[in-house]
Amino acid sequence: MKNLSLLFSFLLIACSGSSPIVSKLPTDNTNQEKAIETINFAKQEDVVQTLKFLTLDENLGREAGTKQMDNVAAYLEDVFKKNNVPPYFKTYKDTLSNFRWPAYNVVGYIEGNDAKLKNEFVVIGAHYDHIGQLKGDDIVNGDDIANGANDNASGTTAVTEVVKYFAKYKTNKRSIIFVFFSAEEKGLLGSKHLAKKLKEQNLNLYFMFNYEMIGVKMNREDMLLYITGFGKSNMAQKMNEYAGENLIGYIPAETQYQLFRASDNYPFYTEFEVPAQTVSTFDFENFKFYHEPDDEFELMDTKHMTNVVNKTIPVLEKMINASSKEIQLK
Ligand SMILES: [Zn+2]
């Protein structure tokens, strides 16, 4: 998530007396366990492996434009290659036109299997960059690397698992463009660049769906995820209908901090004027280390992350395959 520092420093003070992070494990769901037996959804061990790589100290906090990001981009490219997902453009790397240093979105594509609907597209993404190395007072106990496990190695990992699912089963009627965005932390630069480029190419975009900070469970049972721009479209309602349960909800922080404008969904909304929204489980109370060096792998609840992926995949499938564009702006 791009910088919310002014608002957030107030919140940190307000929250500093709260108890340490307690992550409740997801409740067992017999139906889902049955589904896992027959359909190969994400495995926790794969989530752990990807998250571990993205948060390595040697990536130096994944700052857009640094040479360490070449290695991270190559890893994400490999996810596409290993799963036989071709690039959407000539190469997987989509070089940003609006940033002074070399930076790339990594973009893959799975064509829809329906002769008509495949001309309509959905974009599923997450930003893989973070804020890099810190200086001065921001260094904590000698640690100057902001590993960005929650923000947003967690969302990036989720997208890798969604890629693997649709690559394996190819159940999507509409075409899917998968994007790992760069330079989100520099002001949504990767998504601004790409949304503009796709709009110029007259892409027929149905919706954009973005994962952001899903590494720690919210301390509530009435929803698994909240969505930004809840009131902008019927996406949450449709997702809950497709899920057959209350998966997605509204939290007041979403409007209070204008989170709809704080991540890579936003440029797709402004360019295309279609539903373009972010799901998250960071509610400003369940994680204290936003944009700090302590946003580390060890604090992530990978069982929760796996649950988020496995709950959203079947819903995304229904969203992508609906016979008409059921998700609409209000
Ligand atoms: Zn951020």
Following DSSP, what letter does each residue of 48-66 receive, concatenated? HHHHHHHT-GGGTT-BTTS
Residue 215: both structure tokens together = 């590494």
CA of 197 to the centre of ligand 1 (A): 24
What's this model's pTM, rounded to 2 decimal places? 0.90
CA of 182 to the centre of ligand 1 (A): 12
CA of 95 to the centre of ligand 1 (A): 21
Mean pLDDT of 249-271: 97
CA of 5 to the centre of ligand 1 (A): 10
In the prediction, which pLDDT does 98 show? 98
CA–CA dist 251, 193 (Å, integer): 29
Mean pLDDT of 7-24: 43
Going across the sheet that includes 225-227, the strands are 93-95, 104-110, 175-181, 121-127, 205-211, 276-280, 225-227, 248-249
In the predicted structure, residue 290 carries a pLDDT above the cut 60 = yes
The pLDDT confidence band at residue 3, using thresholds 50, 70 and 90, is confident
CA–CA dist 179, 6 (Å, integer): 29
CA of 152 to the centre of ligand 1 (A): 7
CA of 71 to the centre of ligand 1 (A): 20
- Is cis: bond before 152, omega within 30 of 0? yes
Percentage of residues in the chain having pLDDT higher than 70 = 89
In the prediction, which pLDDT does 41 show? 85
Residue 88: both structure tokens together = 């959407």
CA of 280 to the centre of ligand 1 (A): 12
Helices 302-321 & 155-169, crossing angle to 10 degrees? 50
The tens digit of pLDDT for each residue in 38-97 reads: 566 899 999 999 999 999 999 999 999 999 999 999 999 999 999 999 999 999 999 999
In the predicted structure, residue 2 carries a pLDDT above the cut 90 = no
CA of 291 to the centre of ligand 1 (A): 6
- Give residue 188's region: left, alpha or beta (phi > 0; psi -120 to 50): left
In the prediction, which pLDDT does 13 show? 43
Q: Give one DSSP letter per residue of 209-246, joined into a string.
A: EEE---SS--S-SS-SEEETTGGGBSHHHHHHHHHTS-
CA of 165 to the centre of ligand 1 (A): 27
Query: Which amino acid, one-letter code, is at 157?
Result: T
Give exposure, 156-186, as e/b (b: 16+ Cβ within 10 Å). Answer: bbbbbbbbbbbbeeebbbbbbbbbbbbbbbb
Query: Which amino acid, one-letter code, is at 142?
Result: G
CA of 96 to the centre of ligand 1 (A): 19
Task: Write down the residue that tokens 């564009």 correspond to.
Answer: 325
CA of 185 to the centre of ligand 1 (A): 6
Instruction: Give the CB-side neighbour count of residue 258, counting CA atoms within 13 A.
Output: 7
**Maximum Cα–Cα distance for the chain, whole Å?**
57
CA of 2 to the centre of ligand 1 (A): 4
CA of 198 to the centre of ligand 1 (A): 24
Across the chain, mean pLDDT equals: 92
Q: From residue 201, how far is each of 77, 89, 134, 197 by CA, in Å?
A: 23, 12, 38, 6
Percentage of residues in the chain having pLDDT higher than 90 = 85
Measured from the Cβ of residue 26, the count of other Cβ atoms closer than 10 Å reads 17
Instruction: Give residues with Cβ within 8 angstroms of 198, minimum separation 6.
Output: 123, 177, 205, 271
DSSP state of 260: G
In the prediction, which pLDDT does 60 show? 97
Chain centroid offset of residue 106 CA: 13
CA of 221 to the centre of ligand 1 (A): 26
Mean pLDDT of 263-292: 97
The pLDDT confidence band at residue 23, using thresholds 50, 70 and 90, is very low
The pLDDT confidence band at residue 309, using thresholds 50, 70 and 90, is very high
CA of 184 to the centre of ligand 1 (A): 8
CA of 151 to the centre of ligand 1 (A): 5
In the predicted structure, residue 231 carries a pLDDT above the cut 70 = yes
DSSP state of 99: -
Give exposure, 306-315, as e/b (b: 16+ Cβ within 10 Å). Answer: bbbbbbbbbb
In the prediction, which pLDDT does 251 show? 98
- Give residue 212's region: left, alpha or beta (phi > 0; psi -120 to 50): beta
In the prediction, which pLDDT does 8 show? 54
CA of 216 to the centre of ligand 1 (A): 15
